[in-house]
């Protein structure tokens, strides 16, 4: 727990700095927006979620790096990050050109001056991006774009079909409250929760539906009373949690070997476990789900800006978008990717939730001044209080 506490302490410090910065004054990056591409520098260094940048090492059929390197001469190196706080910490430390940031990291990176405005005129395929994402508030501030939409999806409820033989679970209740599952056994010690402060929003979403008297309107905009109710639910949940997961592969091992039968998860884990013929499926429960809309953002001090722009253009090609969606179980940011991709198939976008956009509460950095409540609990509190929940306090 000491290493975990140290890691989140760094995230808390970053959040504290951002909390004192208004997003209206954001974008004071260390570098001006690039006006023209130069000669490719031969390298691009990227911080990415697991499974987001594949070169065929896991499965030869999934490779959107090799051809890019051959065509551009830009060699791709990837640093995998398992949480948004880790991504923010890595970008604060520097040494990277790009990051595939979710909405709970992107605004912090913008407000902290860690990323630079993107010149969309240097990205020829920008117009092909889903209009619902082009001006999304998690990467667009004061009309300026700070990244290129990559993929999006929901945080699904992954479950073991042998534990839920009669029918799939319909509510997040199976991971929040102690209960007897359809297999006749308690869920205590058999469920997991996400190891990141943004998971407080999952508790708030659950309460929106089960305690409407709290008046929660947005799971990322919580008054003090609403926030305390979410923390109390998480403290209750801690009594039944087997592990707080952040490593996708460790979570998969827990489902295979440690008796875990239900947890929030990503479609990435679900797809890999199903491919291994494991008794696994997933649903979006009746309460809806939180989710992620990830943006490729460029570091303010990127050492390889031309290669970075070439990668951002490459990242929204329909073939790349479709292959990634098939691999991760996500939804492409380019609608054209939904047709004609052999790996994704023409049914893949619908299967992965293309029609659920309006049902997903996308990760977003909580701030003090919020639209629905007037004044809300900011993210630095989420960080410190979630550490306390993990520690049993």
CATH of the domain at 278: 3.40.190.10
Give the mean model confidence (pLDDT) for residues 79-107.
95
Q: In which element (H, E) is residue 251 found?
A: helix 248-257
Is residue 117 domain-shared with residue 231, that is, in the same domain?
no
Is residue 53 domain-shared with residue 130, that is, in the same domain?
yes
Is residue 177 domain-shared with residue 318, that is, in the same domain?
no
Please give the full DSSP string across 327-345, using - where no structure is assigned: HHS-EESSGGGGSS-TTT-
Structural domain range at position 338: 2-153+291-358
CB 183 within 8 A of CB 190: no
Query: What digits encode the pLDDT tens for the residues 334-364?
Result: 999 999 999 999 999 998 989 889 889 999 9
| Counted domains in the chain | 2
Binned at pLDDT 50, 70 and 90, residue 7 comes out as very low
Please give the full DSSP string across 137-180, using - where no structure is assigned: TTTEETTEE--EEEEEEE-EEEEETTTS-SS---STHHHHS--B
pLDDT of residue 26 exceeding 60: no
DSSP-assigned beta bridge partners for residue 295: 101, 149
Is residue 244 domain-shared with residue 279, that is, in the same domain?
yes
The rounded distance, in Å, linking the Cα atoms of 36 and 150 is 22
The rounded distance, in Å, linking the Cα atoms of 382 and 1 is 18
Is residue 141 domain-shared with residue 275, that is, in the same domain?
no
Binned at pLDDT 50, 70 and 90, residue 16 comes out as very low
Residue that has been written with the tokens 């978008």 in this structure: 321
pLDDT of residue 32: 85
**Residue 204: both structure tokens together:** 């708030």
Give the mean model confidence (pLDDT) for residues 315-329.
96
**Strand 43-48, strand 98-101: pairing:** parallel
pLDDT of residue 13 exceeding 80: no
Is residue 224 domain-shared with residue 162, that is, in the same domain?
yes
Is residue 182 domain-shared with residue 250, that is, in the same domain?
yes
pLDDT of residue 217 exceeding 70: yes
The rounded distance, in Å, linking the Cα atoms of 222 and 216 is 7
The rounded distance, in Å, linking the Cα atoms of 156 and 270 is 9
CB 226 within 8 A of CB 297: no
Query: What digits encode the pLDDT tens for the residues 72-88?
Result: 999 999 999 988 999 99
pLDDT of residue 31: 67
The rounded distance, in Å, linking the Cα atoms of 178 and 230 is 16
Is residue 200 domain-shared with residue 142, that is, in the same domain?
no
pLDDT of residue 3: 33
The rounded distance, in Å, linking the Cα atoms of 235 and 311 is 43
pLDDT > 90 in the chain, percent: 84
Give the mean model confidence (pLDDT) for residues 323-344.
96
Binned at pLDDT 50, 70 and 90, residue 295 comes out as very high
Report the chain's terminal Cα–Cα distance, integer Å: 14
Q: Count Cα neighbours of 69 within 13 Å in the Cβ-side half-sphere.
A: 13
CA-closest candidate to residue 84, choices 44, 49, 110, 50: 49
- What are the strands, taking DSSP E only, across 225-279? 241-245, 262-265
Q: How many CB atoms lie within 10 A of CB 67?
A: 14
Q: Count Cα neighbours of 393 within 13 Å in the Cβ-side half-sphere.
A: 6
Is residue 383 domain-shared with residue 353, that is, in the same domain?
no
pLDDT of residue 323: 97
Query: What digits encode the pLDDT tens for the residues 372-385?
Result: 988 999 999 999 99
**Residue 227: both structure tokens together:** 């926030």
pLDDT of residue 10 exceeding 60: no
Is residue 285 domain-shared with residue 320, that is, in the same domain?
no
Give the mean model confidence (pLDDT) for residues 160-182.
96
pTM: 0.84
């Amino acid at each position: 727990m000491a290493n975990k506490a140290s890691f989140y302490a760094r995230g808390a410090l970053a959040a504290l700095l951002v909390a004192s910065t208004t997003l209206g004054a954001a974008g004071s990056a260390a570098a001006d927006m690039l006006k023209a591409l130069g000669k490719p520098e031969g390298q691009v260094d990227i911080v990415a979620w697991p499974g987001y940048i594949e070169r065929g090492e896991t499965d030869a059929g999934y490779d959107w790096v090799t051809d890019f390197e051959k065509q551009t001469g830009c060699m791709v190196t990837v640093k995998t990050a398992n949480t948004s706080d880790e991504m923010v910490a890595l970008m604060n430390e520097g040494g990277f050109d790009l990051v595939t940031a979710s909405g709970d990291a992107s605004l912090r990176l913008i407000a902290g001056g860690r990323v630079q405005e993107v010149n969309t005129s240097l990205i020829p395929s920008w117009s092909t991006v889903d209009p619902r994402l082009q001006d999304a508030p998690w990467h667009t501030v004061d009309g300026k774009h700070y990244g290129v939409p990559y993929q999006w999806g929901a945080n699904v409820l992954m479950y073991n079909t042998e534990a839920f033989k009669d029918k799939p679970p319909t509510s997040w209740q199976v991971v929040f409250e102690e209960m007897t599952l359809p297999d006749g056994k308690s869920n205590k010690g058999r469920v997991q929760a996400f190891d990141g402060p943004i998971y407080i929003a999952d508790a708030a979403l659950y309460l929106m539906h089960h305690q409407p008297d709290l008046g929660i309107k947005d799971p990322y905009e919580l008054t003090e009373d609403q926030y305390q109710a979410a923390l109390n639910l998480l403290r209750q949940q801690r009594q039944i949690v087997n592990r707080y997961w952040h490593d996708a592969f460790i979570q998969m091992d827990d489902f295979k070997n440690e008796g875990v039968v239900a947890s929030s998860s990503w479609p990435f884990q679900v797809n890999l476990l199903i491919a291994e013929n494991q008794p696994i499926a997933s649903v979006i429960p009746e309460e809806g789900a939180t989710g992620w809309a990830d943006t490729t953002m460029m570091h303010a001090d990127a050492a390889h800006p031309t290669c970075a722009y070439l990668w951002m253009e490459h990242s929204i090609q329909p073939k790349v978008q479709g292959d990634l969606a098939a691999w991760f179980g996500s939804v492409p940011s380019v609608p054209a990717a939904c047709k004609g991709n052999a790996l994704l198939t023409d049914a893949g976008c619908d299967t992965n939730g293309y029609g659920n956009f309006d049902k997903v509460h996308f990760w977003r950095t909580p701030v003090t001044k919020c639209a629905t409540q007037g004044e809300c609990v900011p993210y630095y509190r989420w960080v410190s209080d979630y550490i306390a929940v993990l520690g049993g306090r």
